[in-house]
Chain A
Amino acid sequence: MLDQNMKILVVDDFSTMRRIIKNILREIGYSNVDEADDGTTALEKLKGSKFDFVVTDWNMPNMPGIELLKAIRQDPSLKETPVLMVTAEAAKENVVTAVQAGVNNYIVKPFTAAALKERIDLILGKAAVN
């Protein structure tokens, strides 16, 4: 059972990418989406109100995705929030770093709506167990 109303934060410095991801999310039934243009603003938003899910880009100015992930995991009130990392290349070292930092899953750009849905379902199923 999925909660289609869950509030998702999309983090990317390129507004076109945020828009694309928002559209894909809407396509698979998630329309409660907010956005942030880098890790710093994302963290502010996360602390400001409750989000159920974070989709973040890796490569961003000021605060890259990996730093955001670490910050989320270190914050007692945020550390349970599922994080899906979007990367452009499935470079092994990146994936290892992300997994070590506690990412729930990652997805390689460009991805299809079905692929994103699969990742989210996977995370939500798993996150319940953790």
Chain B
Amino acid sequence: MSFPIDEMDDIINDFLAESGEALEQLDQKFIELEKNPGDLTLLNDIFRSVHTIKGAAGFLGFQQTVDVTHVTEDVLNKLRKSEMAVNPVIMDAILQSVDMIKVLLRNIKEKNNRVEDTSHVVAALANVLNGSAEMPAPQAPSAELKPQEQEAPRQAKPDETAGVKEKEQSIRVDIDRLDSVLNLAGELVLSRNRLMRLGSKLTESNSESELSSHLNEAISQLDLVTSDLQLAVMKMRMQPIAKVFNKFPRMVRDLARQTQKEIELAISGEETELDKTVIEEIGDPLVHLIRNSVDHGMETPEERVAKGKPRCGTVSLSAYQEGRHIIVSVADDGKGIDPNAIKKSAMEKGLISADEAEKMSNKEAFNLIFIPGFSTAKEVSSISGRGVGMDVVKTNITKINGSISIDSEIGKGTKIIFSLPLTLAIIQALTVETGGEIYGIPLATVIENIRVTPSEIKTIDGKEVISMRDHVYPVMRLGQLVSGCTNDTESEWKYIVIIGIGEKKFGLLVDRLHGQEEIVMKSMGEYLKGTVGIAGACINGDGNVILVLDMSGLLESLNKLCYC
């Protein structure tokens, strides 16, 4: 085609987005199809999606995509004409080809001009086509499709069209445009904060003035509108978590077949909405957890029957909103985790002492699996358990200001719960002062603040600690960390902010506490990117730039200080 390059790029992007959505829905539909092999409406739907992708790919000259979709379509066509019946072997071949199509589309997106070897996929489909992929013993009674059922969907169609068709009230907007609106809303929040600060100063100095009361009225109106705008913009970036959840039925099906287990995936709350960035970040951790559940958590059907459990295990994936957080959980009704096995393994690896193990509660024991390098699996399988994993899951969740916890009972199952922030753009921060500079600490990581005299800080093994209510916390001096200067301003009282990242807690020594503020974080730009301990910067109500601390980064540097 001879469209201008820009237009062509645009069309290709459209094609990728639209095909991507169609493919995502396909996975879902295939799982349904495996349950209802005779559902012709579903088959027609699937056929149409593949057919459409083939058509558009043809126009755009993506020959490999055309080739693969073409054979897939042939197989689907036979299925929908009932010349063949769905069986797991055919399903595997089709699913494989769908995966290949995804790879091909990704190549197009990355413009890497890579040529994939599609021969095995095409060969598997060709085998299906010429009938050499017959199942030894068909499991589903799908072959007994009655002739009249074939007619059904055609007749059903006009009925559907007679009903009022709901028009889709949505448009596709480039994410960059959305982000720039979000950015502007953020700037507005800053201006509002500044105006509010100035307004209250004016009132303090000139409380009688009619002008100042008018100004305050106007400001509170602005405050209201800004908050609403902020919320509205945030909502624009929200996507249903179904976007992530949808790929799991397919994954669980494949894993169950690989491990020869029988597993049902129950999904609830897929309509729950989260910020796009959060959605993108939780995909991998969830994949990992579900793999773990299927591979390690779940027993084989025989074991389950022997234990008096239903033959088919259930993995449940759920999401719901709780205040300013979204709770996402992965639960299974499998073996459960044995806290003693974990303690033992941790002791063998030298992660904890026998004494520590003795004192440890079950909950604390479960949390050991988040320590880097920890894995209870005796054998490493191809699905999960390479010893890297749970710690990465935890890091990823912490990175987006979320937290993670485990609950498990032997014989009953395991439940892993994420608590995630609704949005990443606007955060609640505690502002503190040290050495005359103001810093922001994400409020989600703050457990409590205490006021201490310098003499209360003790030194054990050359490390500073603070003891509070029978707990001993390591103490970091913020001034020392950020500027390297040790001579903090001398004053009678100091403040320690107790920070909790997952199960780890430590105290951060600062000169003064300022207060809580809603801040819009900006990245530090290329120049200062990657500065340890600094997550970004923001402008506070006074118009000053303040640095926002990255607590997990600080914690890492603390660990290095302590153990290296």
A residues contacting B by CB (< 8 A) are: 13-17, 19-20, 23-24, 27, 39-41, 57, 59-64, 67, 88, 109-110, 112-113
B165 near A20: Cβ-Cβ < 8 Å: no
Chain A residues with Cβ below 8 Å from B56 are 14, 16-17, 20
Chain B residues with Cβ below 8 Å from A67 are 157-158, 161
Contact of A113 among B2, B45, B158 (CB under 8 A): B2
Q: Smallest Cβ distance from B363 to chain A, in angstroms?
A: 50
Chain A residues with Cβ below 8 Å from B158 are 63, 67
Determine if B137 is an interface residue (Cβ-Cβ < 8 Å): no
B165 near A62: Cβ-Cβ < 8 Å: yes
B59 near A20: Cβ-Cβ < 8 Å: yes
Query: Of residues 146 to 173 in B, which have CB atoms within 8 Å of A's CB atoms?
Result: 157-158, 160-161, 165, 167
Determine if B453 is an interface residue (Cβ-Cβ < 8 Å): no
B55 near A62: Cβ-Cβ < 8 Å: no
B55 near A110: Cβ-Cβ < 8 Å: yes
Given contacts A59-B48, A59-B51, A67-B157, A16 and B15 within 8 Å (CB-CB): yes
B58 near A110: Cβ-Cβ < 8 Å: yes
Chain B residues with Cβ below 8 Å from A63 are 157-158, 161
In the assembled complex, the Cα of A27 lies from the Cα of B2 at a distance in Å of 8
Given contacts A27-B2, A113-B1, A40 and B15 within 8 Å (CB-CB): no
Which residue on chain B has the smallest CB distance to residue A87? Answer: B55
In the assembled complex, the Cα of A15 lies from the Cα of B11 at a distance in Å of 10
Chain B residues with Cβ below 8 Å from A39 are 161
Q: Smallest Cβ distance from A124 to chain B, in angstroms?
A: 23
Query: Of residues 418 to 469 in B, which have CB atoms within 8 Å of A's CB atoms?
Result: none
Determine if B228 is an interface residue (Cβ-Cβ < 8 Å): no
Q: Smallest Cβ distance from B76 to chain A, in angstroms?
A: 12
Given contacts A63-B157, A113-B2, A15 and B14 within 8 Å (CB-CB): yes
A16 near B2: Cβ-Cβ < 8 Å: no
In the assembled complex, the Cα of A88 lies from the Cα of B59 at a distance in Å of 11
Which residue on chain A has the smallest CB distance to residue B8? Answer: A23
Number of residues on chain B facing chain A (CB within 8 A) = 26
B18 near A15: Cβ-Cβ < 8 Å: yes
Given A40-B161, A57-B55, A113-B1, 20 other A-B contacts at CB below 8 A? A14-B55, A16-B15, A19-B11, A20-B11, A20-B56, A23-B7, A27-B2, A27-B3, A39-B161, A41-B165, A59-B47, A59-B48, A61-B48, A62-B157, A62-B160, A62-B161, A63-B161, A67-B158, A88-B54, A113-B2
Determine if B52 is an interface residue (Cβ-Cβ < 8 Å): yes
B3 near A23: Cβ-Cβ < 8 Å: yes
- Write the B124-163 contact mask toward A (1 if CB under 8 angstroms, else 0): 0000000000000000000000000000000001101100
In the assembled complex, the Cα of A44 lies from the Cα of B167 at a distance in Å of 12
CB-based closest 5 A-B pairs: A110-B58, A16-B15, A110-B59, A14-B52, A109-B55
In the assembled complex, the Cα of A62 lies from the Cα of B56 at a distance in Å of 20
In the assembled complex, the Cα of A88 lies from the Cα of B52 at a distance in Å of 9
In the assembled complex, the Cα of A41 lies from the Cα of B165 at a distance in Å of 8
A109 near B59: Cβ-Cβ < 8 Å: yes
Chain A residues with Cβ below 8 Å from B59 are 17, 20, 109-110
Which residue on chain A has the smallest CB distance to residue B58? Answer: A110
In the assembled complex, the Cα of A39 lies from the Cα of B158 at a distance in Å of 11
Which residue on chain B has the smallest CB distance to residue A22? Answer: B11
Instruction: Pick 15 A–B contacts, CB within 8 A, sort by A.
Output: A15-B18, A16-B19, A17-B52, A17-B56, A19-B11, A20-B1, A20-B60, A23-B7, A23-B11, A59-B51, A60-B48, A64-B157, A67-B158, A112-B1, A113-B2
